Amino acid sequence: MAEVVATNETIVVVGGGISGMTAALEAAECGKDVVLIEKNPSLGGRVAQLYKYFPKLCRPTCGQEINQRRLKVNPRIKVLTMAEVEAVSGQAGDYSITVNQSPRFVNEKCTACGACSSAVTSEIANPFDYNLSKTKAAYLPFDMAYPQQYVIDPSIVGTEEGEKAKAACSVGAIDLEMEAETINLKAGAIIWATGWKPYDAGNIQPYGYDRFLNVVTSVEFERMMDPKGPTAGKLVRPSDGAEAKSIAFIQCAGSRDRNHLTHCSRICCMATLKQTTYLTEQFGEQSEAEATIYYIDIRAIDRFEEFYNRVQEDEKVSFVKSKVAYIAEDKASGNPILHGVDTEGYNRYAAEHDLVVLAIGMEPSVDINALTSEISTDASGFIQLDEENGAFFGAGCSTNPLDVNRAVQSATAAALRAIQVVNQISRAEAA
Amino acid sequence: MGSTNTAKVDRYKNNFLKEVEENVEEGDWVRMCMQCGVCAGSCPLGPHWDHPPQEIFMMIRAGKRDEVLASDSMWMCTSCYNCIVRCPRELPITHIMHGLANYAHRLGVAHQENPTRRFAQMFWNNVTKTGRANELKISLGLYFMDGFMNGIKKSLAMKKIGIGMFMTGRLDPFGLVQGRGCKGSGDIDKMLKKAFEIEDHRKGYNS
Ligand SMILES: Cc1cc2nc3c(=O)[nH]c(=O)nc-3n(C[C@H](O)[C@H](O)[C@H](O)COP(=O)(O)OP(=O)(O)OC[C@H]3O[C@@H](n4cnc5c(N)ncnc54)[C@H](O)[C@@H]3O)c2cc1C
Ligand code: SF4
Ligand code: SF4
């Protein structure tokens, strides 16, 4: 592991999703030294796992490519992957951070040729596909991974498989002796860009995510559309592989609910509206494929209203104003049957669909208060902007459920705040 | 009782929501409902009554006083608590339904034919008379509620259970003529009278 030099004029960014990358780049491009810490083997965060993103419906790869190019040419950013913050102490302008880095067993010499992967047969659950698929135990996290460096899963280290992988590597990049490391860093300011995670759908008992195969979450649905995803880009049912032509979307799955997350996750309405366009993309304009959105109210924030209007005009999409009460399963067909009463007329329905997509809520990915007690959060655990926070600044979805556009704005704001702190320190030291 | 109803109408004019908030047990929760429909879809009795809870709450807000108070819905509630468990806003729906039933009853405007309500009244009359439930009278009252022939049919159908209850001392065969009371049933009368007095005073009934 290369030495990481960090002083109290360094800005540490925790989390390498779109927000963390943005904050790190903005600060570094202003001439500050930055250490970017990411717990996964690659940067990219959850945006990399989306098939397309609204409002323009482009693939996430293009934004990622620009950021990666900016990263590569900037010597001021040191990126640590497979690294997690263990503890933080100190105060604004003088923080000490303990970071644990897990071994990758592959060093910088890796050319991403993939020979190690071809050499092994063992497989592991693939977290990039929310464990819906398997990947080789010697793997590149995803095509656009950064760094472009393979990973050897610890399960094959010390086995014959591990040795096979090592032998296959012609540039000597595999080092099975690598060990976990503890890295101590100094920092003047810390940007928390730790993002969000999907709410545990199994907790929503009446929807049977843990019992019915044809009930999936919105994040899984994104992966299904990806040609490199678990279903090779096909919208098929997990139970029998049949095409899912009648898809129900259930809004506020786990959000706005005192039994689950009390906040509105804000993005899931737009995510569903976007996902209805996948049906036409997959089955064509002329198909009988249809989407039904069950909702309390649609929250397409500000300029997304236009997107909403467009989806409303789509004849394949219908809207039912009702929070589904519960789902049952038709045993013979595996079809989920949605039960409820609609608010416009109080009609009782028992609606059968091929597949149900839960527009799952977003919650903070880490319990930030467990890492450091100094940070003020709202009732849902999102980091707030607060004088009391010293030089801790939240960026992106660690502060709120945000779309990419707003996450990036929030990250730039956080970078500016952190820059102000380290500028004060360098001025004080110069005086 | 009719006078109480008129007094309430005069007092709250068209603001039925306020009337519910101030008079019905847990009524101040009604405005918290966001009309999602989960309670309505979760109720096992839902298909069999006039208005699901979601609709009742909207009707209260819309000032549909007569329709709400005369609805059979709150009498159909079996207290299964499915709605309370699932309501995203944690409204105590079951309690509100019972609160509404009680209020409508005390105002004398509750649903007339609903069998649950009639049975509830029968049970109340029975148990407050002697301070002890007279199973024979209650059962027969229930069976014959819908006419003589129906009563005979139901009694025959329930014969086995009746004999079982008799054998275990749960059913007094002479109940129809004498019936066992409890000691000091006069004191029970006094207690109930006092309780009514307090409730009437607090809630402005009978005034
Ligand atoms: C179903 C769905 C669809 C969506 N579709 C769209 C869309 O079409 N358009 C759009 O604009 N937005 C969309 N979003 C929102 C989008 O995903 C977020 O705006 C975006 O992910 C925010 O990025 P972020 O960097 O703040 O967080 P994240 O993407 O969550 O990144 C956080 C990063 O921090 C890392 N991390 C976490 N904890 C630690 C730790 N302790 N130490 C080190 N690293 C850590 C994580 O591994 C991750 O890489 C969608 C959301 C959902 C739920
Ligand atoms: S954005 Fe829409 S689906 Fe998501 S919690 Fe808010 S209202 Fe519900
Ligand atoms: S479940 Fe709760 S919030 Fe939803 S309609 Fe019923 S009472 Fe209202």
Specify whether A18 is located in the same domain as A132.
no
Give the pLDDT band (50/70/90) at residue B207.
very low
| pLDDT tens, residue by residue, A289-300 | 999 999 999 998
* A319 shares its domain with A216: yes
| pLDDT for res B178 | 65
CATH of residue A379's domain is 3.50.50.60
> Same domain for A144 and A163?
yes
> Whose Cα sits closest to atom 8 in ligand 3?
B33
Closest Cα partner for B99 from B20, B196, B7?
B20
- Cα dihedral B36, B38, B40, B41 sign: positive
The 3-class secondary structure across B133-177, one letter per residue, is CCHHHHHHHHHHHHCHHHHHHHHHHCHHHHHHHHHCCCCCCCCCC
Same domain, B153 and B180: yes
Question: Could you give the percent of chain B with pLDDT greater than 90?
Answer: 54
Answer with the one of B68, B83, B107 that is the final residue of a domain.
Answer: B107
CATH (domain of B70) = 1.10.1060.10
Which residues in chain A are closer than 8 Å to B55, comparing Cβ atoms? Answer: 346
Interface residue A286 vs chain B (CB under 8 A): no
- The rounded percent of chain A whose pLDDT value lies above 90 is 91
User: What pLDDT is stored for residue B179 in this prediction?
Assistant: 64
Signed CA dihedral, A206, A209, A213, A215: sign only: positive
Is A259 in CB contact (< 8 Å) with chain B?
A: yes
Would you call B38 an interface residue with chain A, using a CB distance cutoff of 8 Å?
A: yes
What integer pLDDT is reported at residue A132 of this predicted model? 96
pLDDT at B166: 79
Q: Average pLDDT in the A166-193 region?
A: 97
The domain tally of chain B equals 2
**A15 CB near ligand 1 (under 6 Å):** yes
Into how many domains does chain A fold? 3
Distances (CA, A) of A41 to A45, A140, A147: 10, 9, 8
The reply to whether B2 falls in a domain is no
Do A254 and A260 form a contact (C-beta atoms < 8 A)?
yes
Give yes or no for residue A139 having a pLDDT over 60.
yes
The partner residue sitting opposite B89, judged by closest CB among A258, A342, A348, is A258
> Does residue A3 carry a pLDDT above 80?
no
Distance A347 CA to ligand 3 centre (A): 15
pLDDT score of B46 more than 50: yes
pLDDT at A424 over 80: yes
Domain match, A12 and A73 both: yes
pLDDT for B169 equals 77
Domain identity same for A116 and A153: yes
Which of B35, B46, B85 is closest, CB to CB, to A348?
Answer: B46
Q: Which of A59, A57, A58, A74 is nearest to A22 (CA)?
A: A74
pLDDT tens readout for residues A321-360: 999 999 999 999 999 999 999 999 999 999 999 999 999 9
Residue B185 lies in a domain: yes
Residue of A nearest to B89 (CA): A258
Provide the strand spans (E) within A282-365. Answer: 290-295, 317-321, 326-329, 336-341, 348-352, 355-360, 362-364
Q: Which domain holds residue B69?
A: 11-107
Nearest CA to A307 among A271, A264, A265, A282? A271
Specify whether B28 is located in the same domain as B79. yes
Query: Does the residue B176 lie in any domain?
Result: yes
Last residue of a domain, one of B90, B107, B124: B107
Centre of ligand 1 from the C-alpha of residue A207, in Å: 25
Q: What is the pLDDT of residues A71-128, one digit of tens each?
A: 999 999 999 999 999 999 999 999 999 999 999 999 999 999 999 999 999 999 999 9
Between A428 and A37, name the one with better pLDDT: A37
Q: Whose CA is nearest to atom 7 of ligand 2?
A: A299
Token pair listed for A170? 């012609």
Instruction: Identify the DSSP state of A357.
Output: E
A56-60, A193-197, B59-63, B67-71: least confidently modelled range: A56-60
Which of the residue ranges A338-352, B78-92, B129-143 would you say has the lowest mean pLDDT?
A: B129-143
Least confident of A310-324, A331-345, B118-132: B118-132
User: Is residue A349 within 8 Å of residue A261, measured between CB atoms?
Assistant: no
> Does A346 share its domain with A203?
yes
Of A362, A378, A396, which closes a domain?
Answer: A362
- The secondary structure of A408-431 as a DSSP string is HHHHHHHHHHHHHHHHHHHHHHH-
Q: Which of B40, B86, B88 is nearest residue A341 as measured by Cβ atoms?
A: B40
Q: What is the pLDDT of residues A390-400, one digit of tens each?
A: 999 999 999 99
| Cα B128 from chain centroid (whole Å) | 16
Q: Is the peptide bond before B173 cis (omega within 30 degrees of 0)?
A: no
Q: Are B121 and B90 within one domain?
A: no
Question: B98 and B157 share a domain?
Answer: no
Nearest to A324 by CA among A209, A242, A401, A200: A209
Domain identity same for B137 and B197: yes
ipTM of the complex model: 0.87
Parent domain of A286: 199-362
Q: Domain check: are A146 and A191 in the same one?
A: no
| Contact between residue A156 and residue A122 where contact means Cβ atoms under 8 Å apart | yes
Residue that terminates a domain, selected from A342, A362, A382: A362
Spell out which residues of chain B touch residue A325, defining contact as CB-CB under 8 Å.
Answer: 37-42, 86
Omega cis (within 30) before A147: yes
Q: Which of A18 and B116 is assigned the larger pLDDT?
A: A18
Q: Are residues B55 and B136 in the same domain?
A: no
* B188 within some domain: yes
A160 pLDDT exceeds 50?
yes
Q: Is residue B174 part of a domain?
A: yes
The verdict on residue B186 lying in a domain is yes
End position of a domain, from candidates B107, B139, B170: B107
Model confidence pLDDT, tens digit, residues B150-182: 878 888 888 888 888 878 877 777 777 666 778
Between residues B116 and A157, the one the model is more confident about: A157
A4 or A180, which is more confident: A180
Locate the DSSP E strands across A188-322.
189-192, 196-198, 215-217, 246-253, 290-295, 317-321
Phi and psi for A192 in degrees, rounded to 5? Answer: -95, 105
In B, which residues are within 8 Å of A343 by CB distance?
Answer: 35-37, 54
Nearest Cα residue to A413 out of A139, A213, A193, A151: A193
pLDDT at position B83: 96
Residues A120, A55 share a domain: no
In a domain, B60, yes or no: yes
What's chain B's average pLDDT?
A: 89
